[in-house]
Amino acid sequence: MSARLQDLSSYEYVLPGSAACAGCPSSIALRLVGKALGENAVMVMTPSCAVASTGPLPHSCYNVPALNVCFASAGAAAGGLSLALEAQYEKGRLQGEMPTVFTWVGDGGTYDIGLQGLSAAAERNDNFIHFCYNNEAYSNTGMQRSGATPMHAVTTTTPLGKENPRKNLAMIMLRQEIPYMATASLSYPMDLYRKVVKAKSIKGFKYIEIHAPCAPGWKFATADTVEIGRLAVRSGAWLLWEAENGQVAVSSPTSQFTEGKAQPIPMIDYIGKQGRFAHLLKRDDQDAVLEEMRAAVLRDIRRLAENVNG
Ligand SMILES: Cc1ncc(C[n+]2csc(CCOP(=O)(O)OP(=O)(O)O)c2C)c(N)n1
Ligand SMILES: [Mg+2]
């Protein structure tokens, strides 16, 4: 499939009236996801920027039925919803194509507070797509650290920079033996679109994690969301890949790194544009820190490559 951006459906999940920040990555990503999933879908959300920006009650900017559930329960709620819909079809109460059930959850709701319910849904092979839009923090509550926050990033709960590396949740999901999973970026829209279309065509549990640079949280200009996302991928800080039934395939341009055809751009080109890392550039040992970050990226690329045939 080789669709082009200009050929995508004009159907919009996110309508004018959203209270999201300018350049909000959740809104950009959800618009693209909506074009791939189409009108016949149901969204399950947990507390997040996406919920906070719905707009003033009784209005909603979301042009898709949306169920708001408590933080820990996206996996259970989406799994239950999908089973309830199936039962309605079996009893003949609903006809036509079954709607796609999907979650729209942040990294806090995925990596941390909702992980137990999510992992259980994956193990049961519940029939929905879990989307994690990963803005690398608990953003709507004031930018606290999450399990997805990268090492050294300043957040309101890591004012001197985070001391631990992030959790590699994509690799954890790979080990859950689910039918389909993918990492994606809003800065590579056609790669994201293709992965969503694929996930929609597969029955069972699907996991798609979308890297989502957050201008106010990461401290860059609101017009630069897409550019920062691109630099994350080009520096190897975010890797693009997918796995169908556990078979890993690396997506372009990350595949250039795993196949040894190109090297990631220097980390400074990515982190140097974000205020959350500005403290690193004032340190006497900044070269050593950048070298460590580079080594961590190269290790992740090597590990991903090892998984291609494993
Ligand atoms: C059980 C529970 N704990 C804490 C909160 C407060 N809370 C609401 S949203 C949020 C952060 C969400 O982070 P994430 O899932 O990454 O979404 P983002 O805000 O980044 O879009 C928190 C801590 C809550 N609503 N429920
Ligand atoms: Mg978040």
- Which residue owns the Cα nearest ligand 1 atom 11? 138
Q: Which pLDDT score, from 0 to 100, does residue 235 have?
A: 98
Q: How far apart are CA 283 and CA 279, in angstroms?
A: 7
Cα separation of 110 and 173, whole Å? Answer: 11
What pairs with residue 42 in β-bridges?
Answer: 101
Angle at 232 between CA 230 and CA 238, to 5 degrees: 115
Residue 102 near residue 129 (C-beta atoms within 8 A): yes
CA geometry: angle 77, 83, 86, nearest 5 deg? 140
Which residues are found with C-beta within 5 Å of the ion, ligand 2? 106-108, 135, 139
- In this predicted structure, what is the pLDDT of residue 57? 84
Residue 99 beta carbon below 6 angstroms from any ligand 1 atom:
no
Q: Are 209 and 134 in contact (CB under 8 A)?
A: yes
Residue 1 is predicted with a pLDDT of 54
Q: Is residue 160 part of a domain?
A: yes
What is the whole-number distance in angstroms between the Cα of residue 4 and the centre of ligand 1? Answer: 35
Name the helix (H) or strand (E) containing 130. strand 128-134
51 lines ligand 1 (CB under 6 A): no
- The encoded tokens of residue 95 equal 């006809």
Q: Which residues pair with 86 in a beta bridge?
A: none
Calpha distance 33→241 (Å, rounded): 17
In a domain, 185, yes or no: yes
Rounded to a whole number of angstroms, the distance between the first and last alpha carbons of the chain is 26
Torsion of the alpha carbons at 271, 274, 276 and 280, rounded to the nearest 10: 40
- Residue 38, domain member (yes or no): yes
Tokens 């494993």: give the residue.
310
1 in any annotated domain: no
**What single letter denotes the amino acid at residue 213?**
P
Domain count, the chain: 1
Predicted confidence pLDDT, tens digits, the chain (310 residues)? 567 889 999 999 999 999 999 999 999 999 999 999 999 999 999 999 999 999 888 899 999 999 999 999 999 999 999 999 999 999 999 999 999 999 999 999 999 999 999 999 999 999 999 999 999 999 999 999 999 999 999 999 999 999 999 999 999 999 999 999 999 999 999 999 999 999 999 999 999 999 999 999 999 999 999 999 999 999 999 999 999 999 999 999 999 999 999 999 999 999 999 999 999 999 999 999 999 999 999 999 999 999 997 6
| 164 belongs to a structural domain | yes
Alpha-carbon span 166 to 147, nearest angstrom:
6
Say what the pLDDT of residue 7 is: 92
CA distance 63 to 61: 6
Q: Given the structure tokens 């709701």, which residue do they identify?
A: 109
Rg for the chain, CA atoms, rounded: 19
The answer to the question of residue 145 being in a domain is: yes
Query: Which residue puts its alpha carbon closest to atom 22 of ligand 1?
Result: 141
State how far the Cα of 140 lies from the Cα of 159, in Å rounded to an integer: 17
User: What separation in angstroms does the CA of 35 have from each of 10, 175, 201, 207?
Assistant: 7, 29, 15, 18
Do the domain assignments include residue 2? no
The CB of 25 under 6 Å from ligand 1? The reply is no
CATH number of domain containing 260? 3.40.50.970
In a domain, 182, yes or no: yes
Three-state DSSP class for residue 43: strand
Structural domain of 175 = 7-308
| Ligand nearest to C-alpha 47 | 1
Measured on CA atoms in the order 132, 224, 191, 302, is the torsion positive or negative?
negative
